[in-house]
RNA sequence: GCGAGGAUGGCGGAAUUGGCAGACGCGCUAGACUUAGGAUCUAGUGCCUUUUGGUGUGGGGGUUCGAGUCCCCCUCCUCGCACCA
C-alpha cells in the first residue's frame, strides 16, 4: 500500500479542479445561494498565517454549503492600490504596477497550493483600469448626489507617507500604516459626506444580528451620537450670537463662562482692535500648531485665555465671560461650548485653573453641596437649585423641560450631534485611482464625463527623486481641456484612498463582466448580501463602516436593493506563537509555504481549524501540526489498508435491528459524528469540535476493526463509516479526501457529493449509563436499557449494593429521577 | 473612568437546556512490535491518598436535590472607547 504523500496528491487534484473549472459559479434562481467572502488581501508579497487562517475558514464554509446543495459564490481578488507598492518603487526601482503584478502572481500560486475553492473567473484587481474605472464612476455618482465635496479643513498629515489621512486612519495620534505622528495642516481636500448617513449607519447596526457585539459597539462609539440642545447666547454689545451644543440643558442656569475653539471665526472678530488682540491671537496660533487629535486627548493640559468679550445667558440674563480654550474642538458640535464647572469635570478643572466661578444648580438628593467647597464636578442627576422656575424639580425631567422652554422662546432647539466626521478620501499619492475631476478657470470644478472614464493612471512616471506623488509634476497628465467649455483645464492630481476601492468590491464579484455599469442590478440582487463575511477585527471600523456607507449610498442611487452588505460577520482571531504575534523581528514566523512543503495543505488547514475556535486567537504549535498530520495518515491507512474490503462492498444499507452491540456502537458513532459536524459547522462555526467529532469517528472505526474477528467485519457498516468519514472531512482537508474517495472507486469528485444525513433513531443507544447520586455525589453508575421508566430506574438504583450500604440507617427525604441521566437520592 | 469579552489539567481546548467536569488533540508514563525508532499499536494520565476515599473549573458568598453553567461581591487578563460639550 502506498503511503500518504500529500506532495504528490495535492498538486494533482488542484490541477484537476482547475482544468475542470470546478468552482465556476453561475446564477441559478432555482437554488438557494450562499455568498461566502474573505476580506481580499493587499498583495504585499507573500501570504502569512493570518491569511491562511481566514482562507481556511472561508473554504470550509464554501465547500460545506456546496455539499449542502447551496449555489455558493466564493471569490477572491486584490486590494492592489496602496503605498507599499510605491515605497518598493522608490527603494528597489521597480514600477508599482510590476511589483503588484508579481506579488499577485506569487500569492495566487500560494492560495492555489492551499486548495482553496475560488471561482477565479471573478477575480478583481483594484489597480486595473477595468476596475478603477468603476471606482471613478462611483466617485462621480457620489459627486452627482452631492455626497462628494472639496473643502479646506484642518486635516491629518503624515509626513512619512506624505499624504493626508482620514480620521479613522489615525490611531492614537499616529498613522495607522507607518506609525508616524500626524500633524495638522489646513488643506483643501475631497470628502465623502458619510456623516449624512450617521443615523442610518447607527440604526441599522440593530438589524445586523449576525455581527459580533464588539464590532457593533466599536462602530456605535465611533459614530458617537449624542442628543441634546443647541442654545443661542447673544454676545454683549454686538449683533453676534454664539451657538453651543449641550447634552445637559438641565445645567443651563449654571453656565459661568463660554469657551470657543481657537479656530472659531468669532475669536478674531471679537478681539480685533481691542487691547487683547495680540495676546489672544498668539495664543490661538500656538494652539493651532497642535493636532486636533492631540488636543482632544484627555491628558492634554487645558489652556485658555479671556477674549475680553461677554455674552448673555438667555435664561437668566447673566453676563458671562467668553474664553478661548484648547479643549474645545472646531469640528465637533458648533465649535463653542457653554461651561458649567459645577457639573462638568472638564469645565471644573478649567475654572479652578483660571479662577472662574463655580455655580451649583443641581444638588444631590440626599445632601447639600456648597459651590466654593466642591473638589470635583457633580455630574449625577439630582434636584434643581438656583434655576429659576425649575427649582426643586428632578434634573432628569428638566432636560426635556428646559429644551422645550428654549424652543418656546426661540433661544435654542433640540439637536443631535455626532462624533463621526466626513470621510477624507483624497490622497497625495501616485499609486491610487485618480480622482476624476478637472479644474477649469471659467467653469470651476468639473467632473469628468462618465463616458470619458477611466481616467487612466499614467504608467510612464519617474520615482527617482522624491516621495511626492509623480502625478503632481506630470504635465501631460495634468493638462487637459475642460469638458464643459473646451478651454484649458487641469486634472486633479490626487488619487483616492484605497478604502474607496475596497468599499464596493464585494458587489463587483457578483457581476465581474458588467461593461455598462459597475455591476448589473440583477446579478447583485441574486447574490447579495454576503451571507458570511470573514476578516480581521482591525477593520471593525475602517473598511466595514465605509462598505456599509457605500452600500447605503448605492441603495439610494437605485443601483442595489440592499441596505447592508454583510449579513453575518466573523472576526477571526490572530495567530500567535510563543505568546507573541508572529513577526520577523521576534523570529517566531511560520509560513504557509513551509507547512505545505513539510506536511501538505490538508494538514495545515486542519491544524489551523482544530487549534482554536475561529474568533479566538490561535496559538501556533508545531507539535499540534504533527498531531494533525498523524491523524490524516491514520485516516489514509484506515481506508487504504482496507481498500479491497471497501471496494468489494457495494451497498451500505444497514438493517439496524440485526446489528450486535459492538456494531451498534459503531453505527451510533457514525450517525452522531454526522450530526455533530453538521451542527458545529453550520450553526456554531466551531470547526475545532467538528474536527474532534471526526477524530472520534476514526477512533471508533479503528476500535471496531481491533475488536471484531477477522472475516466477521460487517462490510456495509464499515463502508458507511468510511464513506461518511471522507465526506465529513472533505471541507477541511479537500485533497486527501478526494484521493481516498477515488481510491474507493467513486468516479465523481467528493466535493460534488451531497452532505450526509443521519438516522435520528440511531443516535439513541440501546443501553444508557445512569448515574446514581446520594446527596448530589456520584456513588455508582448502572447501565440500563434506554427509556427505562422512572419507577424502574429508582428500583434499580436502590438495589445497587454500593447504594444500599450507603443508605443504611438513613432516611430518604427526596428522590430525583432524570430519565436516561441520573438518580439522586437525598438522605438524612 | 466607561463598555465588551475572558479566567477550566503540564499545554491548546470540550462540556449545546442547571444533571458523570476535563471530549478531541499535544505532552507525559508503561508496555508491545522492532537491529533501531522521533514509525505504529495497546493501556494509563486533574490533584491528594494505600485500595477505600477525599478534593477540584480565578477568590468569597448565595439559590438549588444538584452549579464551570444562575444571582451578588471581589481579583486579574485581553480588547475597544475616553476633554465629543
Largest CA distance in chain A: 110
Whole-model pTM? 0.93
Residue A610 (CA) to nucleotide B75 (C1'), in angstroms, measures 32
Average pLDDT over residues A135-162: 93
Class of residue A401 by CB neighbours under 10 A (exposed 0-12, middle 13-18, buried 19+)? middle
Question: Residue A351 above 70 pLDDT?
Answer: yes
- Give the contacts of A154 (CB within 8 A, at least 6 positions apart): A184, A185, A186, A263, A288, A292, A330, A331
Q: Tell me, what's the pLDDT at A77?
A: 98
Average pLDDT over residues A693-702: 95
Q: Tell me, what's the pLDDT at A357?
A: 94
For A259-287, the pLDDT digits (tens) are: 999 989 999 999 999 999 999 999 999 88
Closest nucleotide to A295: CA versus each C1': B83
| Cβ of residue A753 lies below 7 Å from strand B | no
For A85-107, the pLDDT digits (tens) are: 988 888 888 999 999 999 999 99
Say how far apart CA A194 and CA A168 lie, in whole Å. Answer: 12
Q: What confidence tier does A30 reach under pLDDT thresholds 50, 70, 90?
A: very high
HEC sequence for A366-383: CCCCCHHHCCCCCCCCCE
- Give the contacts of A712 (CB within 8 A, at least 6 positions apart): none
Q: Tell me, what's the pLDDT at A465?
A: 53
| Cβ of residue A173 lies below 7 Å from strand B | no
- CA closest to B6 C1', residue: A616
Residue A296 (CA) to nucleotide B83 (C1'), in angstroms, measures 6
Cβ < 7 Å from strand B, A residues 251-270: 261
For A669-684, the pLDDT digits (tens) are: 999 999 999 999 998 8
Element (H, E) at A198: helix A198-203
Residue A9 (CA) to nucleotide B1 (C1'), in angstroms, measures 58
| Cβ of residue A769 lies below 7 Å from strand B | yes
The DSSP code for A709 is P
Number of CB atoms found within 10 A of residue A489's CB: 21
Question: Residue A466 above 60 pLDDT?
Answer: no
| Cβ of residue A619 lies below 7 Å from strand B | yes
Q: Which of A37-46, A574-583, A731-740 has the lowest mean pLDDT?
A: A574-583
Number of CB atoms found within 10 A of residue A584's CB: 7
Q: Tell me, what's the pLDDT at A764?
A: 74
Residue A520 (CA) to nucleotide B73 (C1'), in angstroms, measures 59
For A724-761, the pLDDT digits (tens) are: 999 999 999 999 999 999 999 999 999 999 999 998 88
| Cβ of residue A353 lies below 7 Å from strand B | no
Number of continuous H segments (helices) and E segments (strands) in chain A: 27, 34
Query: Among residues A167, A47, A29, which one has the least CA distance to residue A107?
Result: A47
Q: Tell me, what's the pLDDT at A444?
A: 95
Strand ranges inside A622-776, DSSP E: 767-774
Query: Among residues A770, A608, A627, which one has the least CA distance to residue A698?
Result: A627
Average pLDDT over residues A508-516: 96
Q: Tell me, what's the pLDDT at A80?
A: 96
Cis-peptide into A605, omega within 30 deg: no
- Give the contacts of A606 (CB within 8 A, at least 6 positions apart): A628, A631, A632, A691, A732, A733
Query: Among residues A465, A495, A706, A694, which one has the least CA distance to residue A602?
Result: A694
Percent of chain A whose pLDDT exceeds 90: 69
Query: Among residues A186, A387, A361, which one has the least CA distance to residue A289?
Result: A186
- Give the contacts of A507 (CB within 8 A, at least 6 positions apart): A518, A519, A524, A528, A554, A560, A565
| Cβ of residue A359 lies below 7 Å from strand B | no
Percent of chain A whose pLDDT exceeds 70: 98
Average pLDDT over residues A370-391: 91
Average pLDDT over residues A694-721: 90
Question: Residue A1 above 70 pLDDT?
Answer: no
Q: What confidence tier does A812 reach under pLDDT thresholds 50, 70, 90?
A: confident
Nucleotides of B under 7 A from a protein CB: 3-5, 11-16, 19-21, 23-27, 39-42, 53-54, 65-67, 79-85
Query: Among residues A321, A210, A339, which one has the least CA distance to residue A276?
Result: A321
| Cβ of residue A780 lies below 7 Å from strand B | no
Q: What confidence tier does A467 reach under pLDDT thresholds 50, 70, 90?
A: low
Residue A633 (CA) to nucleotide B22 (C1'), in angstroms, measures 27
Query: What mean pLDDT, rounded, does chain A reach?
Result: 91
Closest nucleotide to A261: CA versus each C1': B85
Element (H, E) at A742: helix A734-743
ipTM confidence score: 0.94
Contact A85/A93 with Cβ under 8 angstroms?
no
- Integer CA distances (angstroms), A748 to A53, A645, A753, A755, in order: 29, 20, 8, 14
| Cβ of residue A764 lies below 7 Å from strand B | no
DSSP A549-612: HHHHHHHHTTS-S-S-SBSBEEEE--EEETTEE--GGGT----HHHHHHHT-HHHHHHHHHHSS
Question: Residue A650 above 80 pLDDT?
Answer: no
Number of CB atoms found within 10 A of residue A186's CB: 12
Question: Residue A403 above 60 pLDDT?
Answer: yes
Collapsing DSSP states into helix, strand and coil, what is residue A320?
Answer: strand
Average pLDDT over residues A690-703: 95
Closest nucleotide to A778: CA versus each C1': B20
For A478-506, the pLDDT digits (tens) are: 999 999 999 999 999 999 999 999 999 99
For A279-330, the pLDDT digits (tens) are: 999 999 988 887 776 777 777 889 999 999 999 999 999 999 999 999 998 8
Residues in chain A: 828
| Cβ of residue A327 lies below 7 Å from strand B | yes
Average pLDDT over residues A366-394: 90
Say how far apart CA A310 and CA A317 lie, in whole Å. Answer: 12
Say how far apart CA A44 and CA A85 lie, in whole Å. Answer: 8
Question: Residue A416 above 80 pLDDT?
Answer: yes
Say how far apart CA A93 and CA A386 lie, in whole Å. Answer: 72
Say how far apart CA A302 and CA A293 lie, in whole Å. Answer: 14
The residue among A465 and A624 whose pLDDT is bigger is A624
- Integer CA distances (angstroms), A355 to A279, A295, A306, A351, A770, in order: 19, 22, 12, 6, 77
Say how far apart CA A441 and CA A280 lie, in whole Å. Answer: 38
| Cβ of residue A812 lies below 7 Å from strand B | no
Q: Tell me, what's the pLDDT at A813?
A: 81
Residue A820 (CA) to nucleotide B17 (C1'), in angstroms, measures 15
Amino acid at each position: 500500500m502506498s503511503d500518504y504523500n500529500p506532495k504528490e496528491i495535492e498538486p494533482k487534484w488542484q490541477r484537476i479542479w482547475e482544468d475542470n473549472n470546478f468552482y465556476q459559479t453561475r446564477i441559478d434562481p432555482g437554488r438557494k445561494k450562499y455568498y461566502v467572502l474573505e476580506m481580499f488581501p493587499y498583495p504585499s508579497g507573500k501570504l502569512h498565517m493570518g491569511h491562511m487562517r481566514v482562507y481556511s475558514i472561508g473554504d470550509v464554509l464554501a465547500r460545506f454549503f456546496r455539499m449542502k446543495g447551496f449555489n455558493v459564490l466564493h471569490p477572491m481578488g486584490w486590494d492592489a492600490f496602496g503605498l507599499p507598492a510605491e515605497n518598493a518603487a522608490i527603494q528597489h526601482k521597480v514600477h508599482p504596477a510590476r511589483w503588484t503584478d508579481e506579488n499577485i502572481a506569487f500569492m495566487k500560486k500560494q492560495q492555489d497550493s492551499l486548495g482553496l475553492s475560488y471561482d477565479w473567473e471573478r477575480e478583481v484587481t483594484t489597480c486595473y483600469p477595468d476596475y478603477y474605472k468603476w471606482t471613478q464612476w462611483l466617485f462621480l455618482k457620489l459627486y452627482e448626489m452631492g455626497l462628494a465635496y472639496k473643502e479646506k479643513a484642518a486635516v491629518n498629515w503624515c509626513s512619512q507617507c506624505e499624504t493626508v489621512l482620514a480620521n479613522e486612519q489615525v490611531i492614537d495620534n499616529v498613522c495607522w500604516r507607518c506609525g508616524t505622528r500626524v500633524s495638522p495642516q489646513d488643506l483643501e481636500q475631497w470628502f465623502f459626506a458619510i456623516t449624512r448617513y450617521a443615523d442610518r449607519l447607527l440604526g441599522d447596526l440593530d438589524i445586523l444580528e449576525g455581527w459580533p457585539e464588539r464590532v457593533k459597539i466599536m462602530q456605535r462609539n465611533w459614530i458617537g451620537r449624542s442628543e441634546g440642545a443647541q442654545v443661542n447666547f447673544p454676545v454683549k454689545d454686538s449683533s453676534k450670537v454664539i451657538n453651543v451644543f449641550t447634552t445637559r440643558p438641565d445645567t443651563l442656569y449654571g453656565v459661568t463662562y463660554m469657551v470657543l475653539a481657537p479656530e472659531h471665526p468669532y475669536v478674531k472678530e471679537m478681539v480685533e482692535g481691542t487691547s487683547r488682540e495680540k495676546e489672544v491671537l498668539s495664543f490661538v496660533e500656538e494652539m493651532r500648531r497642535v493636532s486636533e487629535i492631540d488636543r482632544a486627548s484627555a491628558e492634554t493640559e487645558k489652556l485658555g485665555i479671556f477674549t475680553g468679550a461677554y455674552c448673555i445667558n438667555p435664561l437668566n440674563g447673566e453676563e458671562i465671560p467668553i474664553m478661548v480654550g484648547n479643549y474645545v474642538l472646531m469640528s465637533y458640535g458648533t465649535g463653542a461650548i457653554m461651561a458649567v464647572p459645577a457639573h462638568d469635570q472638564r469645565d471644573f478643572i478649567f475654572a479652578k485653573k483660571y479662577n472662574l466661578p463655580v455655580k451649583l444648580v443641581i444638588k444631590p438628593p440626599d445632601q447639600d453641596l456648597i459651590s466654593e467647597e466642591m473638589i470635583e464636578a457633580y455630574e449625577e442627576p439630582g434636584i434643581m437649585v438656583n434655576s429659576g422656575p425649575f427649582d426643586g424639580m428632578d434634573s432628569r425631567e428638566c432636560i426635556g423641560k428646559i429644551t422645550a422652554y428654549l424652543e418656546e422662546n426661540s433661544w435654542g432647539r433640540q439637536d443631535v450631534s455626532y462624533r463621526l466626521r466626513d470621510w477624507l478620501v483624497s490622497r497625495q499619492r501616485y499609486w491610487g485611482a485618480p480622482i476624476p475631476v478637472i479644474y477649469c478657470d471659467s467653469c470651476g470644478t468639473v467632473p469628468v464625463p462618465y463616458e470619458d472614464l477611466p481616467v487612466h493612471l499614467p504608467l510612464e512616471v519617474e520615482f527617482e527623486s522624491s516621495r511626492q506623488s509623480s502625478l503632481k509634476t506630470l504635465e501631460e497628465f495634468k493638462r487637459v481641456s475642460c469638458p464643459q467649455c473646451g478651454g484649458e483645464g487641469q486634472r486633479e492630481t490626487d488619487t483616492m484612498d484605497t478604502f474607496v476601492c475596497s468599499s464596493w468590491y464585494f458587489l463587483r464579484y457578483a457581476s465581474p463582466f458588467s461593461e455598462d455599469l459597475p455591476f448589473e442590478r440583477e446579478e447583485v440582487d441574486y447574490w447579495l448580501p454576503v451571507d458570511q463575511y470573514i476578516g480581521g477585527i482591525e477593520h471593525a471600523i475602517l473598511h466595514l463602516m465605509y462598505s456599509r456607507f457605500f452600500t447605503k449610498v448605492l441603495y439610494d442611487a437605485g443601483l442595489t436593493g440592499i441596505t447592508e452588505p454583510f449579513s453575518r460577520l466573523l472576526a477571526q482571531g490572530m495567530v500567535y506563537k510563543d505568546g507573541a504575534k508572529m513577526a520577523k523581528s521576534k523570529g517566531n514566523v511560520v509560513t504557509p509555504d513551509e507547512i505545505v512543503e513539510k506536511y501538505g495543505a490538508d494538514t495545515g488547514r486542519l491544524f489551523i481549524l482544530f487549534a482554536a475556535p475561529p474568533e479566538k486567537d490561535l496559538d501556533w504549535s508545531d507539535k499540534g501540526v504533527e498531531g494533525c498530520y498523524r491523524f490524516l495518515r491514520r485516516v489514509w491507512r484506515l481506508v487504504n489498508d482496507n481498500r479491497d474490503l471497501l471496494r468489494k462492498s457495494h451497498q451500505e444499507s444497514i438493517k439496524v435491528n440485526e446489528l450486535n452491540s459492538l456494531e451498534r456502537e459503531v453505527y451510533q458513532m457514525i450517525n452522531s459524528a454526522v450530526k455533530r459536524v453538521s451542527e458545529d459547522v453550520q450553526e456554531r462555526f466551531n470547526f475545532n469540535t467538528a474536527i474532534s467529532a471526526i477524530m472520534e469517528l476514526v477512533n471508533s472505526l479503528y476500535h471496531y476493526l481491533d475488536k471484531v474477528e477477522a472475516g466477521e467485519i460487517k462490510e456495509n457498516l464499515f463502508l458507511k463509516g468510511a464513506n461518511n468519514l471522507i465526506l465529513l472531512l472533505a471541507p477541511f482537508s479537500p485533497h486527501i479526501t478526494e484521493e481516498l474517495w477515488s481510491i474507493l472507486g467513486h468516479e465523481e469528485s467528493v466535493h460534488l457529493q451531497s452532505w450526509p444525513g443521519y438516522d435520528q433513531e440511531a443516535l439513541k443507544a440501546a443501553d444508557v449509563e445512569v448515574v446514581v447520586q446520594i446527596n448530589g455525589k456520584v456513588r455508582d453508575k448502572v447501565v440500563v436499557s434506554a427509556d427505562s421508566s422512572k419507577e424502574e430506574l429508582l428500583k434499580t438504583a436502590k438495589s445497587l449494593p454500593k447504594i444500599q450500604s450507603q443508605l443504611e440507617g438513613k432516611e430518604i427525604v427526596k428522590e430525583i429521577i432524570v430519565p436516561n441521566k441520573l438518580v439522586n437520592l437525598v438522605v438524612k
